[in-house]
Amino acid sequence: MGVRCAHAQAPRIEFFERGRHTYVMVLKSPTIRHRRLGRELRRLREEAGLTPERAAQHLGWSRSKLNRIEIARIKVTPSDVANACDLYGADSDTKAMLIQLGREVGHRGWWAAYSDVLAGTYVSLEADAAVIRTWEPLLIPGLLQTEGYARAIISGGRPGLDEAELRRRVSARMQRKVTLLGATPTLHVLMDEIALRRSIGSASIMIEQLDDLIQVSGWPAVTIRVLPLTAGSHAGLDGSFSVFSFDEGDPDVAYTGGPAGEAYLEDSSQVHDLTLVFERLSQMALSPEESVALIAAARSDHE
């Protein structure tokens, strides 16, 4: 397993194994706007017929700086963007758009106020995504948790938290839920039946949680499907993951995490592998209507 490097000053790449696969772990993955800016600057440079070495020389940059800008590993100033656009012959509209995009790279989202309790990279990917596909084999996914359920999960996993810190973490999770579901990205959720059966907190907490799932399943942008226990062995037993898809041609990003650290997968073949796993799980899962019926049955069992 890769070890999360909490004090790294620059993005690092590590490797970890999950099941039969080896994945690349990209720490402190750039946001979608940052990646888009780097990709557009690289496209303009290539269309201008400039090698990285020649472009860096004309701009007065090191070759390393140019490369790190194009792969979204360092932030770029408005003047740097403007100078690059001038060198590459970008028109005025493109130049203005990229300068604005560069300014937005440093934009602080709502989650900045909870930076001590939320993984900023993850929620920024959620905020930018047009489609989110998430698989959860053990628990109700965080985006769909009620306040009582979230409180029970957090307090159970972190028994040493004082009341103020516990409230803050629950508040952050609820803000994430309200903000993301209110923005209505297309959300495809797959969860194992065990998540419905496992008692988290009191019976009333589980009943409230499952009632909420039934209600949310009726929202146009949300699809909830359950993989029944009768499915037996399947490709999702290695753990939970999410795949984020974006507008404007930005490549998908996948995420998987656990006690050992977080992994943001950007390599297209690795993202494709997890997307295929999601599709296989979807084929094994109940239909949305059957899933609601199973959720209702599990709710009755908690009474």
Residues 196 and 184 in one domain: yes
Q: What pLDDT was estimated at residue 3?
A: 30
**Total count of domains within the chain:** 2
Residues 23 and 36 in one domain: no
Q: Which of 59, 89, 105 is the last residue of a domain?
A: 105
CB 99 within 8 A of CB 78: yes
Residues 56 and 182 in one domain: no
DSSP labels for 246-296?
-STTPPPEEEEEETTEEEEE--HHHHHHHHHHHHHHHHHSPPHHHHHHHHH
Residues 39 and 121 in one domain: no
146 in a domain, yes or no?
A: yes
CATH number of the structural domain spanning residue 21: 3.30.870
Q: What pLDDT was estimated at residue 114?
A: 67
Mean pLDDT rounded to a whole number for the chain: 84
Domain that holds residue 101: 32-105
What stretches in the chain show pLDDT beneath 50?
Answer: 1-29
Distance of CA 289 to the CA centre of its chain: 27
Q: Strands 241-245 and 222-227, how do they pair?
A: unpaired
53 in a domain, yes or no?
A: yes
Q: What is the pLDDT of residues 197-237, one digit of tens each?
A: 999 999 999 999 999 999 999 988 999 999 999 998 998 99
237 vs 74: CA distance, rounded Å: 36
Main-chain dihedrals φ then ψ at residue 293, nearest 5 degrees: -65, -40
Residues 202 and 271 in one domain: yes
Residues 43 and 157 in one domain: no
